Amino acid sequence: MFAKIRELIEYRDLVRNLVGRDLKVRYKNSFLGFFWSLLNPLAMMVVFTVVFTIMLPNSALERFPVFVLCALLPWNFFSSSVMTSIHSIVGNAHLIKKVYFPREVLPLSTVLANLVNFLLALIVLFAMMFALRTPLTRWALLLPVIIFIQLIFTLGLAFFLSTVNVFYRDTAMIMDVAMLAWFFLTPVFYPITILPQYYPTLFGFSLDVQRLAYILNPMASLIASYRVILYHGVPPALDFLFRTLVTALAFLVGGYLVFLRYSRVFAEEL
Amino acid sequence: MGIALKFENVSKRFILHPQQPRSLQEMVIQTLKGNRSSKQELWALKDLTLEVQEGETLGIVGPNGAGKSTLLKLIARILDVTSGRIIVNGKVSALLELGTGFHPDLTGRENIFLNGSLLGLSRRDMLNKFDEIVEFAELEQFIDVPVKHYSSGMLIRLGFSIATNVEPDILLIDEVLAVGDQHFQAKCLARMEEIKERETTIIFVSHSLEMVRGLCNKAIWLDGGVLRATGEPERVADLYLQGVAGDERPLEEKRRWGTREVEIVNVRFLNSKGDKLSVFETGERMIARIEYEAHTKVERPVFGVAIYRNDGLQVNGPNTKASDFPIPWVEGKGQVDYVIDSLPLLVGTYRFSASVYDHHLFHAYDHHHLLYSFVVKRGEAAETHELFYIPSRWEHRQA
């Protein structure tokens, strides 16, 4: 595995070029080109502002657009990374059958291209926060750490799912639905506190739903962390963040090992 | 000189699933139907042991499906061995398909960097080689145009230029030199010679025995995944030609028809000395001898032959009636010779049909369609490529 990682470092220029290719191609034939990376989140924010301040004013939460966006942008980064990287192996079959290069470059560069878009969208978020007078506290400096943890988690999933999709093309279809369910299970549009704290079961136990939501869903932890440091401007629970990091690392190592195990036969299976 | 490449008892098996479930739905249906997908195995390479020295140019010949491409893909690490071991010393670059990985929406310049990094080169290396790549491909004017606007010739030139400029230790080439126009082909060959002089090890797969003879200093003949011969390119090429020609297939009924009042028992090819051969040289005398047996007396039969190039092009198709060589009757055994005094065909593999028909060419007694083959190798003639040697000369007058 370490030899593989060293090789990956040798191919870093390939990763860079593939990320560049993804970004260039995405906006190649559009009039506004690269500005869409900024315009897209901006337009989204306008929609949310209109919907949640005029059509459905949510009096319980102040600055609701900021509340939503500081969760929605990370979520979009996650979901578009997962959904595009699923196809990263199958979609590059012509390359895999003709050239040798470390295959992990493909999901990696797909996720990184999405990361670049996410970072651009964050600029818009900060502009929005400034406009709505949301003060940035020093806890916002933890943002890179949280993004890094999310990146690790996303990569693990990308490695795993892109491999499975080579053997079973249903994976992409299943994930379409799964991501929708996952979206609603993750507190993006609502604060986690609206979930019932305890839910009585048949056998007299009661489940701590809020706790469970975090334990079972690393994305919920990540989204909550973004919100805590940006929207609330207070320190996140560090032990909580650390646990999420450990989970993310486990996903990355597991996903990467699966990927390495099966990437040797990609050329035959495609 | 060290060893550039070593195969130790390498085998490669492909599992062919005729209907592999690619989705859960198919899997469930197949399980319900209870038909376990019958797996078929294909051994593309069997227990291959091979050694290539640094700086050698190895040519690989063999029929389609012999495992040549699999061999290259194993060296390039695109495929993984089933058993055995491959040792590769140095950086490998593969010319398996030119222009792999070009993105149509990116410009030539962007694609050069993308392709270079795909072959494992750093950006700095590519910056150094950039001008040379563009110059060799003759694309200075178009380098900032998206490659979707390139002609196929331009794409091939760019692909070849990138792949040969990365200065690998081992270069793999699969049949790609036969592309492009004459001018570029000549340039490619010159580039190959240059690469050879740099002591680069080259592994070269080709159907063109001429190129294997001309470029390589070692050759192997693969057939059905097994090494049939190895050694000097001249010797391997000759063995290969004889092997292909001596390939005596069983008479397939599909390719033989007729009522058999007169039966063609055998067809042999002879040279002027009467030796039975299957390899001839351009300009040599060649006799196709049809041995027949007539089970009853048959009047005015017409014997015919036809020569086809290996790709199916019919070269000729004479018969005794058209050539005004009437045969009054046949009964019992006999033979008919079709004599070519000076064989005009150039290097290649040719297939041969023989037949005997009634006088009106309406009723087939016996027709052997493409059941025989022979090979023409390079003779005294100056020309080698294409189809025919046409006796001719040049004249020149200054006005």
In whole numbers, what is the pLDDT of chain B averaged over residues?
83
Q: Do B64 and B93 contact (CB within 8 A), yes or no?
A: no
* Separation of alpha carbons A156 and A248, rounded Å: 8
Better pLDDT: A160 or A235: A160
Tokens coding A148: 């890094």
Is residue B175 left, alpha or beta, with left meaning phi > 0 and alpha meaning psi from -120 to 50?
A: left
The residue type of B126 is: M
* Residue A102 phi, psi (nearest 5): -60, 120
A234-243, B28-37, B103-112: least confidently modelled range: B28-37
Per-residue model confidence (pLDDT) at position A80: 93
Subunit contact B22:A264, Cβ cutoff 8 A:
no
Report whether pLDDT(A213) > 90: no
Per-residue model confidence (pLDDT) at position B307: 92
Mean pLDDT of the region B185-192:
77
Three-state DSSP class for residue A182: helix
B120: which chain A residues are within 8 Å (Cβ-Cβ)? 10-11, 14, 101
How many C-beta atoms surround the C-beta of residue B322 within 10 A?
A: 11
The predicted-structure confidence for A67-93, as pLDDT tens digits, reads as follows 888 899 999 999 999 999 999 999 988
For residue B3, list its beta bridge partners.
B53
Strands B279-281 and B364-377: parallel
* Separation of alpha carbons B236 and B242, rounded Å: 10
Mean pLDDT of the region A38-42:
80
pTM for the model = 0.71
Q: ipTM of this predicted complex?
A: 0.79
Mean pLDDT of the region A37-49:
79
The predicted-structure confidence for B295-343, as pLDDT tens digits, reads as follows 989 999 999 999 988 777 889 999 999 899 999 999 999 999 999 999 9
Per-residue model confidence (pLDDT) at position A188: 85
Subunit contact B105:A29, Cβ cutoff 8 A:
yes
Q: Which residues does A215 contact at the CB level (< 8 Å), separation at least 6?
A: none
CA of B183 vs chain A CAs: smallest distance (Å): 27
Confidence of residue A197 (pLDDT cuts 50, 70, 90): low
Burial class (CB in 10 A: 0-12, 13-18, 19+), A248: buried
Give Cα separations from B240 to A98, A151, B217, B221, B246 (angstroms). 28, 56, 16, 7, 10
Q: Would you say the C-alpha torsion B394, B395, B396, B399 has a positive or negative sign? A: negative
Percent of chain B with pLDDT over 70: 87
* Separation of alpha carbons A154 and B275, rounded Å: 74
The predicted-structure confidence for A114-166, as pLDDT tens digits, reads as follows 999 899 888 888 888 888 888 888 888 889 999 999 999 999 999 999 999 99
Subunit contact A29:B120, Cβ cutoff 8 A:
no
* Separation of alpha carbons B98 and B120, rounded Å: 16
Tell me which residue in A14, A24, A264 faces B80 most closely, judged by beta carbons. A264
Subunit contact A101:B78, Cβ cutoff 8 A:
no
Tokens coding A36: 């869409």
The predicted-structure confidence for B18-63, as pLDDT tens digits, reads as follows 555 566 666 676 666 655 555 678 888 888 898 999 888 899 988 8
Subunit contact A11:B110, Cβ cutoff 8 A:
no
Q: Do B278 and B244 contact (CB within 8 A), yes or no?
A: no
Subunit contact B79:A268, Cβ cutoff 8 A:
yes
B31-35, B159-163, B195-199: least confidently modelled range: B31-35
Confidence of residue B177 (pLDDT cuts 50, 70, 90): low
Confidence of residue B248 (pLDDT cuts 50, 70, 90): very low
Interface probe, candidates B25, B83, B111, B117, chain A, greatest A C-beta count within 10 A: B117
A74-88, A226-240, B91-105, B113-127: least confidently modelled range: B91-105
The predicted-structure confidence for A6-23, as pLDDT tens digits, reads as follows 888 888 889 998 998 888
Tell me which residue in B25, B94, B122 faces A99 most closely, judged by beta carbons. B94
b/e map of B145-171 (b: 16 or more CB within 10 Å)? ebbeebeeebbbbbbbbbbbbbebbbb
The residues on A that touch B, with CB distances below 8 Å, are 10-11, 13-14, 16-18, 20-21, 24-25, 28-29, 94-101, 168-170, 264-265, 267-268
What's the number of CA atoms in the CB half-sphere (13 Å) around residue A244?
Answer: 28
Confidence of residue B251 (pLDDT cuts 50, 70, 90): very low
User: How far is CA A4 from its chain centroid?
Assistant: 25
Residue located via tokens 């563009």: B134
Per-residue model confidence (pLDDT) at position B300: 92
Per-residue model confidence (pLDDT) at position B38: 58
Strands B262-270 and A206-208: unpaired
Residue among B241, B92, B111, B233 at smallest CA distance from B173? B92
CA of A95 vs chain B CAs: smallest distance (Å): 6
Alpha-helix residue ranges (DSSP H) falling in chain B: 24-33, 68-75, 108-118, 123-137, 152-165, 182-197, 209-215, 233-245
Mean pLDDT of the region B251-255:
53
Report whether pLDDT(B249) > 50: no
The residue type of A150 is: Q
The residues on B that touch A, with CB distances below 8 Å, are 14, 22-25, 73, 76-80, 92, 94, 96-97, 100-101, 103, 105-106, 110, 113-114, 117-123, 126
Tokens coding A104: 């992990």
First CA to last CA distance, chain A: 24
Confidence of residue B98 (pLDDT cuts 50, 70, 90): confident
Give Cα separations from A199 to A54, A87, A185, B81, B284 (angstroms). 34, 39, 16, 55, 97
Confidence of residue B253 (pLDDT cuts 50, 70, 90): very low
The residue type of B113 is: F
Per-residue model confidence (pLDDT) at position B244: 67
Tokens coding A47: 């929609």
B15-19, B88-92, B306-310: least confidently modelled range: B15-19
Report whether pLDDT(B171) > 50: yes
B-chain residue closest to A170, CA distance: B23
* Separation of alpha carbons B371 and B247, rounded Å: 10
E-state strands within chain B: 3-16, 40-53, 57-61, 83-88, 92-95, 170-174, 201-205, 218-223, 226-231, 256-257, 262-270, 279-281, 286-299, 302-309, 314-316, 329-340, 348-357, 364-377
Confidence of residue B250 (pLDDT cuts 50, 70, 90): very low
- H/E element, A183: helix A170-185
* Residue B356 phi, psi (nearest 5): -135, 125
The predicted-structure confidence for B60-81, as pLDDT tens digits, reads as follows 988 877 888 889 999 988 888 9
For residue B304, list its beta bridge partners.
B319, B355
B110: which chain A residues are within 8 Å (Cβ-Cβ)? 20-21, 24
